[in-house]
A and B are shown apart, each in its own frame.
Chain A
Amino acid sequence: KAGVTQTPRYLIKTRGQQVTLSCSPISGHRSVSWYQQTPGQGLQFLFEYFSETQRNKGNFPGRFSGRQFSNSRSEMNVSTLELGDSALYLCASSLSGEAFFGQGTRLTVV
Chain B
Amino acid sequence: GEDVEQSLFLSVREGDSSVINCTYTDSSSTYLYWYKQEPGAGLQLLTYIFSNMDMKQDQRLTVLLNKKDKHLSLRIADTQTGDSAIYFCAEGGYNFNKFYFGSGTKLNVKP
Contacts and interface: CB of A to CB of B under 8 A. Distances in A.
Interface residues on B, range: 20 to 34
B43 A97 contact: no
A90 B94 contact: no
B16 to A, nearest CB: 27
Interface in A39-74: 42-43, 45, 48, 50, 55-56, 58
Interface residues on A, range: 20 to 34
Interface in B33-49: 33, 35, 41-45, 48
B88 A103 contact: no
A103 B101 CA distance: 17
Contacts of B90: 43
A94 B42 contact: no
Q: Which secondary structure dominates where chain A touches chain B? A: strand
B98 interface: yes
Contacts of A33: 97-99
Contacts of A100: 45
Interface string B13-49: 0000000000000000011010100000111110010
A94 B106 CA distance: 26
B101 A43 contact: yes
Interface of A: 4, 6, 31-33, 35, 42-43, 45, 48, 50, 55-56, 58, 90, 92-94, 96-104
